[in-house]
Structure 1
Amino acid sequence: MFKSLLIATDGSELGDKAVAAGVELARAHGSKILVLTATDPVATGIGAGGFGTFDAGPIIVQLEEDYAAQAKKLLDDAKAKLDASGIAAETLHVPRHRPADAILEAAAARGIDTIVMGSHGRRGLGRLLLGSQASEVLARSNVPVLIVK
């Protein structure tokens, strides 16, 4: 365990905490690191309801380009933190995927033995309304998941 870490981040404070925790694990265990971020699919339900439709293609292309640029900056920042700590890392942006799906698919495809990610730890109605990618990863993962709060 801890030989290959997948650190999931969204650029938030909790994502940064997950990166920091991954750095400490990697230092202690000589782990390989994959830093991953995912961007949700762009919804295309524009023009429904009898008011006519229009070509949303250019808007969707622009949104996906913006997502990719934001993901690149986020991953570059995380990689710079890891490099500054003396830890080599690979980065991966998974476009058009829900984060939990992207995390689990990448972990399986790359033989990851531990997933590190942040969670707000919401419960009850807050979790129901806002969802929890961390909860989904915990429920579906075949490898240990370290949740950072």
Structure 2
Amino acid sequence: MYARILIAIDGSELSLRGLEQGLMLAAQLGSKVDLLTVSEPWASGMADIQGWAVGYESGPEYRAEREQAANAILQPCLDRAAELEVEAEPVHVLDRFAADGILETADERRAELIVMASHGRRGLTRVLLGSQSAEVLIRSKIPVLVVR
């Protein structure tokens, strides 16, 4: 049914529920899985708590820290996939908004299903924080399984 499933994760407890649902489905169907995490663009012109400021995103520390953070998210997911005997590949997309990174990767990897979690925000919270899952649902050309 779905030979290749893309599972989007951000390391949150909620996304791990989506991971579990996606991996269980993949195990039942014998599907291959791409485990994706997306690092959103650095907010230029702002300083973070460590004092990094403008220009940080062009330095070598930026990429190294983003890759390290992505690996910290992806490795436990790869371990869980191995426990379930699901063939999985890690994917990290740097400097993209989540919905864009998810949709582009699904297309590049020829995924047949996207699995992701949604916080289910409504009203002003959704307007202020946005909804990457809603964006994926609107723009996706393939089925999307949203886990809450």
Contact 1:42–1:64 (8 Å) recurs in 2: no
Greater Cα radius of gyration, structure 1 or 2 = 1
Task: Provide the residue aligned with 1:127 in structure 2.
Answer: 126
Question: Is the aligned partner of 1:73 residue 2:72?
Answer: yes
SS state at 2:141 partner? coil
Matches within 5 A, 1:1-149: 1-45=1-45, 56-57=54-55, 59-60=56-57, 61=59, 62-149=61-148
TM-score (norm 1): 0.88
Q: Which amino acid aligns with 1:138?
A: L
Contact 2:45–2:54 (8 Å) recurs in 1: no
Gaps of 5+ in 1: 48-54
Report the CA distance shift for 1:109/1:129 in structure 2 as closer, same or farther (over 3 A): same
Contact 1:2–1:25 (8 Å) recurs in 2: no
Once the two structures are aligned, what percentage of the paired residues are identical? 42
Query: What does the per-residue CA deviation read over 1:59-86, in whole Å, with 9 as the maximum and x for residues that have no partner?
Result: 3333432222110111111101111111
Q: Which amino acid aligns with 2:42?
A: V
Moved over 3 A (4+): none
User: How many residues are matched?
Assistant: 141
TM-score (norm 2): 0.89
CA distance, structure 1, for counterparts of residue 77 and residue 109 of structure 2: 20
Contact 2:18–2:117 (8 Å) recurs in 1: yes
Task: Provide the residue aligned with 1:51 in structure 2.
Answer: none
Gaps of 5+ in 2: 48-52
